[in-house]
Amino acid sequence: MNDIFARRRQKLLAMKAFRDRQTHPDALGEACPHCGASSSRKALSAALYVCPRCGHHFPIGAYYRLSILLDPGSFRELGNRSAVFDPLQFPGYRKKLETAQRMTGLSEAVVIATGSIDGHKAVLGVLDNRFLMGSMSAEVGERVTTAIETAARQKLPLILFSASGGARMQEGILSLMQMAKTSAALARLDEKGGLYISVLTDPTTGGVTASFASLGDIILAEPGALIGFAGPRVIQQTIGQSLPEGFQRAEFQMEHGFVDAIVPRDRLRATLAQLLELHSKGGRI
Amino acid sequence: MSEPLSPSERVAVARNPGRPNIPDFISALFTDFFEQRGDRLCGEDAGILGGIARFHGRPVTVLGTRKGKTLEENLACNFGMPSPEGYRKALRLMRQAEKFRRPVLTFIDTPGAYPGLEAEARGQGEAIARNLLEMSRLTVPVVAIVTGEGNSGGALALGVADRVLMLENAVYSILSPEGFASILWKDAGRSAEACGLMKLTAPDLKRLGVIDEIVPEPAGGAHLAPEIAFAQLDQALVRCLTQLSKPSGAALTAARYQKFRQMGTVPIPGKEEP
Ligand SMILES: [Zn+2]
3-state secondary structure A121-136: EEEEEEECCCCHHHCE
Is residue B1, in this structure, part of any structural domain at all? no
Contact A169 B126 (CB under 8 A): no
Give the predicted TM-score (pTM) of the model: 0.96
The answer to whether the beta carbons of residues A168 and A135 sit under 8 Å apart is yes
Interface test with A, best of B94, B114, B117, B273 (most A CBs within 10 A): B117
Contact A87 B128 (CB under 8 A): no
- Sign for the pseudo-dihedral over CA of B96, B160, B60, B65: positive
The answer to whether the beta carbons of residues A167 and A135 sit under 8 Å apart is yes
Question: Looking at the complex, does the CB of residue A66 fall below 8 Å from at least one CB of chain B?
Answer: no
User: For position A281, what pLDDT does the model report?
Assistant: 85
Question: Looking at the complex, does the CB of residue A181 fall below 8 Å from at least one CB of chain B?
Answer: yes
**Single-letter amino acid, residue A210:** A
As a dihedral over the C-alpha atoms of residue A265, residue A269, residue A273, residue A275, rounded to 10 degrees, the angle is: 20
Question: Looking at the complex, does the CB of residue A27 fall below 8 Å from at least one CB of chain B?
Answer: no
Is residue B272, in this structure, part of any structural domain at all? no
CA A169 to chain centre: 20
Q: What is the CA radius of gyration of chain B?
A: 18
- ipTM of predicted assembly, 2 dp: 0.96
Report the residue of chain B nearest A168, measured CA to CA: B174
* Distance of alpha carbon A16 from alpha carbon A67, whole angstroms: 9
In the reported structure, the alpha carbon of residue A32 is separated from the centroid of ligand 1 by a whole-number distance in angstroms of 5
Contact B132 A172 (CB under 8 A): no
In the reported structure, the alpha carbon of residue A54 is separated from the centroid of ligand 1 by a whole-number distance in angstroms of 4
Between the alpha carbon of residue B212 and those of residues A240, B164, B169, B202, the distances in Å are 40, 5, 15, 10
pLDDT of A282 strictly over 90 = no
* Distance of alpha carbon A213 from alpha carbon A256, whole angstroms: 16
**Phi-psi map region of A77: left, alpha, beta (phi>0 left; psi -120 to 50 alpha):** beta
How many residues does this entry show for chain A?
Answer: 285
Q: Which residues contact A157 (CB under 8 A, 6 or more apart)?
A: A120, A122, A123, A151, A194, A195, A196, A197, A276, A279
Question: Looking at the complex, does the CB of residue A177 fall below 8 Å from at least one CB of chain B?
Answer: yes
pLDDT tens digits for A43-102?
888 999 999 999 999 999 999 999 999 999 999 999 877 678 899 999 999 999 999 999
B chain contacts of residue A79, beta-carbon cutoff 8 Å: none
* Distance of alpha carbon B241 from alpha carbon B258, whole angstroms: 19
* Distance of alpha carbon B131 from alpha carbon B116, whole angstroms: 19
In the reported structure, the alpha carbon of residue A38 is separated from the centroid of ligand 1 by a whole-number distance in angstroms of 8
Element (H, E) at A148: helix A138-154
User: Residues of A numbered 198-227 whose beta carbons fall under 8 angstroms of chain B's beta carbons: which are they?
Assistant: 206-207, 209-215, 227
Between the alpha carbon of residue B262 and those of residues A177, B224, B267, the distances in Å are 10, 37, 10
Is residue B2, in this structure, part of any structural domain at all? no
How many domains, in total, are found in chain B? 1
Estimate the share of chain B in helix, then strand, then coil, as percent rounded to the nearest 5: 45, 20, 35
The answer to whether the beta carbons of residues B114 and B151 sit under 8 Å apart is no
User: For position B46, what pLDDT does the model report?
Assistant: 98
CB atoms within 10 A of CB B205: 24
pLDDT tens digits for B65-93?
999 999 999 999 999 999 999 999 999 99
In the reported structure, the alpha carbon of residue A31 is separated from the centroid of ligand 1 by a whole-number distance in angstroms of 8
In the reported structure, the alpha carbon of residue A247 is separated from the centroid of ligand 1 by a whole-number distance in angstroms of 19
- Upstream peptide bond of A203 is cis (omega within 30 degrees of 0): yes
**Single-letter amino acid, residue A144:** V
Q: What are phi and psi of B84, to 5 degrees?
A: -55, -35
CATH number at residue B176: 3.90.226.10
Between the alpha carbon of residue B94 and those of residues A171, A206, B91, the distances in Å are 30, 24, 5
Q: What is the largest CA-CA distance in chain A?
A: 63
Q: Where are the alpha helices (DSSP H) in A22-127?
A: 25-28, 41-46, 62-69, 93-104
Candidate from A142, A177, A234 with C-beta closest to B210: A177
Interface test with B, best of A229, A235, A254 (most B CBs within 10 A): A229
Closest CA to B64 of B167, B137, B139: B167
Question: Looking at the complex, does the CB of residue A169 fall below 8 Å from at least one CB of chain B?
Answer: yes
Element (H, E) at B258: helix B249-261
Candidate from A211, A227, A239 with C-beta closest to B132: A211
| SS3 call for B65 | strand
* Average pLDDT value for residue range A263-281: 97
Average pLDDT, chain A: 94
In the reported structure, the alpha carbon of residue A26 is separated from the centroid of ligand 1 by a whole-number distance in angstroms of 13
pLDDT of A189 strictly over 50 = yes
Domains of chain A (ranges, CATH numbers): 1-58 (no CATH), 59-282 (3.90.226.10)
Q: For chain B, which residues score pLDDT lower than 50?
A: 1, 270-274
In the reported structure, the alpha carbon of residue A39 is separated from the centroid of ligand 1 by a whole-number distance in angstroms of 9
Minimum distance, in Å, between the CA of residue A74 and any CA atom of chain B: 29
pLDDT bin (cut points 50, 70, 90) of residue A42 is confident
User: For position B88, what pLDDT does the model report?
Assistant: 98
The C-alpha angle with vertex A106 and arms to A102 and A112, in degrees rounded to 5, equals 170
| Exposed e or buried b per residue across B58-91, where buried means at least 16 C-beta atoms within 10 angstroms of its C-beta | eebbbbbbbbbeeeeeeeebbbbbbbbbbbbbbb
A chain contacts of residue B175, beta-carbon cutoff 8 Å: 167, 169
The answer to whether the beta carbons of residues B175 and B152 sit under 8 Å apart is yes
Domain hosting B191: range is: 7-261
User: Residues of A numbered 81-100 whose beta carbons fall under 8 angstroms of chain B's beta carbons: which are they?
Assistant: 85-91
Minimum distance, in Å, between the CA of residue A284 and any CA atom of chain B: 36
Q: What are phi and psi of A136, to 5 degrees?
A: -85, 100
pLDDT tens digits for A231-249?
999 999 888 989 999 999 9
Is residue B63, in this structure, part of any structural domain at all? yes
Is residue B270, in this structure, part of any structural domain at all? no
Element (H, E) at A270: helix A265-278
* Distance of alpha carbon A161 from alpha carbon A199, whole angstroms: 5
In the reported structure, the alpha carbon of residue B140 is separated from the centroid of ligand 1 by a whole-number distance in angstroms of 53
Element (H, E) at A147: helix A138-154
CA A157 to chain centre: 16
* Distance of alpha carbon A18 from alpha carbon B77, whole angstroms: 52
The beta strand positions in B56-200, using DSSP E, are: 58-65, 104-110, 142-151, 163-167, 171-173
User: For position B273, what pLDDT does the model report?
Assistant: 42
pLDDT of A1 strictly over 70 = no
Candidate from B116, B121, B136 with C-beta closest to A187: B136
